[in-house]
Amino acid sequence: MTEINEAEALKRMEAFCASAEHCRTEVTDKLLRWGLPYDTANRIVDRLEQDKFIDEERYCNAFIRDKFRLAKWGKQKIDQALRLKKIDPYTYRPLLNRIDPQEYHATLQALLDAKRRSIRTGSDYERNGKLMRFALSRGFAADDIRQCIDLPDENESLD
């Protein structure tokens, strides 16, 4: 690859960030893959943030909305994905808590209903176990899943 200077990298990153939302980590990683020194990459990212090409809160809002509505991810999986992108929890947790509880429950119920139709097993115990594992892998909380598949709460079963 040809050598890229700071001005050219800034121009390319402006176009990259204008086409879709990207977080600071994604842009920094891309600049480092291009072979730019770390301090140069940080200067470019700081400039992009200053010019509002990068906005972590705007990115988190779009990420949460897309992963919940389109990919049908639960809050735990979204939280983990944003942590992997090194985004401050104080930025995204309030946005994550804005998900409408009724919509969250309806999404989980629809996922479980669709999965229930595809499961071929004889016993309710096996079916519920498969449903539980499926929903946990999608990032939903165990209590929410139990409520949707009508399982008794763990604390209730100990009585």
Q: How confident is the model at residue 158 (pLDDT cuts 50, 70, 90)?
A: very low
Residue 113: CB atoms within 10 Å: 12
- Whether residue 41 lies inside any domain: the answer is yes
- Whether residue 155 lies inside any domain: the answer is no
pLDDT confidence of residue 159: 45
- Whether residue 11 lies inside any domain: the answer is yes
* Domain tally, the chain: 3
- Whether residue 158 lies inside any domain: the answer is no
Q: Which two tokens stand for residue 89?
A: 């929890």
The CA distance from 104 to 108, in Å, is 6
Does the CA dihedral 142-147-149-152 come out positive or negative? positive
- Whether residue 74 lies inside any domain: the answer is yes
Q: What is the pLDDT of residues 86-99, one digit of tens each?
A: 999 999 999 999 99
Q: DSSP assignment of 83-99, as one string?
A: HHTT--HHHHHHHHTTS
Residues 105, 90, single domain; the answer is no
Residues 109, 146, single domain; the answer is yes
Q: What is the pLDDT of residues 104-142, one digit of tens each?
A: 999 999 999 999 999 988 888 999 999 999 999 999 999
Domain limits at 83? 58-96
Residues 113, 78, single domain; the answer is no
156 pLDDT exceeds 60?
Answer: no
Residues 38, 68, single domain; the answer is no
Contact indicator for 22, 58 with CB cutoff of 8 Å: no
Residues 37, 76, single domain; the answer is no
Residues 40, 76, single domain; the answer is no
The CA distance from 40 to 20, in Å, is 22
The CA distance from 151 to 127, in Å, is 12
- Whether residue 1 lies inside any domain: the answer is no
Residues 129, 108, single domain; the answer is yes
- Whether residue 63 lies inside any domain: the answer is yes
Residues 112, 146, single domain; the answer is yes
Residues 38, 14, single domain; the answer is yes
- Whether residue 16 lies inside any domain: the answer is yes
Is pTM, for the whole model, over 0.85?
yes
